[in-house]
Structure 1
Amino acid sequence: MEIEQRTNAGARLVPGEGAAGAATMRAAVQHRYGPPSVLAVSQVGRPEPGPGDVLVRVGAAAVHPGDYFVMTGEPFLLRLAFGLRRPRHGIPGRDLAGVVAAVGKDVTAFRVGDQVFGWSTAGSLAEYACVPADTLVSVPANLSVVDAAAVPTSALAALQALRRIANVQPGQAVLVTGASGGVGSFAVQIAQAFGAEVTGVCSTRNVDLVRSLGADHVVDYTTTDFTRTEKRYDVILDNVEAQPLAAVRRALTPTGVLIPNSGRGGRWLGPLGRIVTARVLSGVTRQHLKPFVSVEKRQDLLTLADLLTSGQVRSVIDRTYPLDEAADALRYVGAGHTRGKVVITI
Structure 2
Amino acid sequence: MRAVVQDRYGTPDVLAPADLGTPAPGAGQVLVRVRAASVNYADWLFLTGTPYLLRLAAGPRRPKNPVRGTDLAGVVEAVGPGVTGVRAGDEVLGQGEGTFAEYALARADHLVAKPANLTFEQAAALPMAGLTALHGLRAAKAAAGDRVLVNGAAGGVGSFAVQLARHRGCVVTAVCGGSDELLRSVGVDDVIDYRTRDFTREDARYDVILDNVGNHSPTALCRVLTRRGTLLPNSGRGGRWLGSLPRIVRGAVTSPLVGRRIKVYVSTPNPADLAELVALAEAGAVVPLVGRTYPLERVADALAHVGAGHARGKVVVTT
Q: TM-score range by the shorter chain?
A: over 0.9
Aligned positions of 1:297-308 closer than 5 A? 297-308=270-281
Aligned positions of 1:86-125 closer than 5 A? 86-120=62-96, 122-125=97-100
Aligned positions of 1:202-281 closer than 5 A? 202-204=176-178, 206-281=179-254
**2 CA distance for matches of 1:291 and 1:67?**
21
Once the two structures are superposed, what CA deviation does each residue of 1:282-334 show, in whole Å capped at 9, x if it has no partner? Answer: 34443111122211122110110111011010111111111111111111111
Q: 2:142 aligns with which of 152, 168, 172?
A: 168
Quote how far apart the aligned CAs of 1:106 are: 1.4
Once the two structures are superposed, what CA deviation does each residue of 1:226-273 show, in whole Å capped at 9, x if it has no partner? Answer: 111111000000111211211111110011000111110011111011
Gaps of 5+ in 1: 1-24
Match in the other structure for 1:316: 289
Match in the other structure for 1:327: 300
Q: 2:5 aligns with which of 24, 29, 44?
A: 29
Deviates more, 1:192-201 or 1:212-221: 212-221
SS of 1:123's equivalent in the other structure is coil
Contact 1:154 1:182 in 2 (8 A): yes
Contact 2:146 2:207 in 1 (8 A): yes
SS of 1:45's equivalent in the other structure is coil
Amino acid at match of 2:54: L
Amino acid at match of 1:172: D
Contact 2:230 2:263 in 1 (8 A): yes
SS of 1:85's equivalent in the other structure is coil
**1 CA distance for matches of 2:160 and 2:245?**
25
Percentage of pairs with the same residue: 54
Once the two structures are superposed, what CA deviation does each residue of 1:1-33 show, in whole Å capped at 9, x if it has no partner? Answer: xxxxxxxxxxxxxxxxxxxxxxxx111111110
Quote how far apart the aligned CAs of 1:224 are: 1.3
Matched, 1:287 2:260: yes
Amino acid at match of 1:119: Q
**2 CA distance for matches of 1:78 and 1:130?**
22
Amino acid at match of 2:51: P
Once the two structures are superposed, what CA deviation does each residue of 1:80-124 show, in whole Å capped at 9, x if it has no partner? Answer: 11111110101001000000011123111111111001111x311
Amino acid at match of 2:188: A
SS of 2:180's equivalent in the other structure is helix
SS of 1:234's equivalent in the other structure is strand
Contact 1:278 1:290 in 2 (8 A): no
Amino acid at match of 1:334: G
Contact 2:176 2:192 in 1 (8 A): yes
Quote how far apart the aligned CAs of 1:169 are: 0.7
SS of 1:306's equivalent in the other structure is helix
**2 CA distance for matches of 1:343 and 1:75?**
24
Bigger Cα Rg: 1
Quote how far apart the aligned CAs of 1:203 are: 1.1
The alignment's TM-score, normalised by the length of structure 2, stands at 0.98
Deviates more, 1:166-175 or 1:291-300: 291-300
Amino acid at match of 2:47: M
Contact 1:278 1:291 in 2 (8 A): no
Contact 2:93 2:113 in 1 (8 A): yes
Matched, 1:197 2:171: yes
Gaps of 5+ in 2: none
Amino acid at match of 1:54: V
**1 CA distance for matches of 2:258 and 2:82?**
50
Matched, 1:182 2:192: no
Quote how far apart the aligned CAs of 1:52 are: 1.2
Aligned positions of 1:56-71 closer than 5 A? 56-71=32-47
**1 CA distance for matches of 2:3 and 2:307?**
20
SS of 2:20's equivalent in the other structure is strand
Match in the other structure for 1:13: none
Aligned residues, how many?
319
Q: 2:129 aligns with which of 117, 138, 154?
A: 154
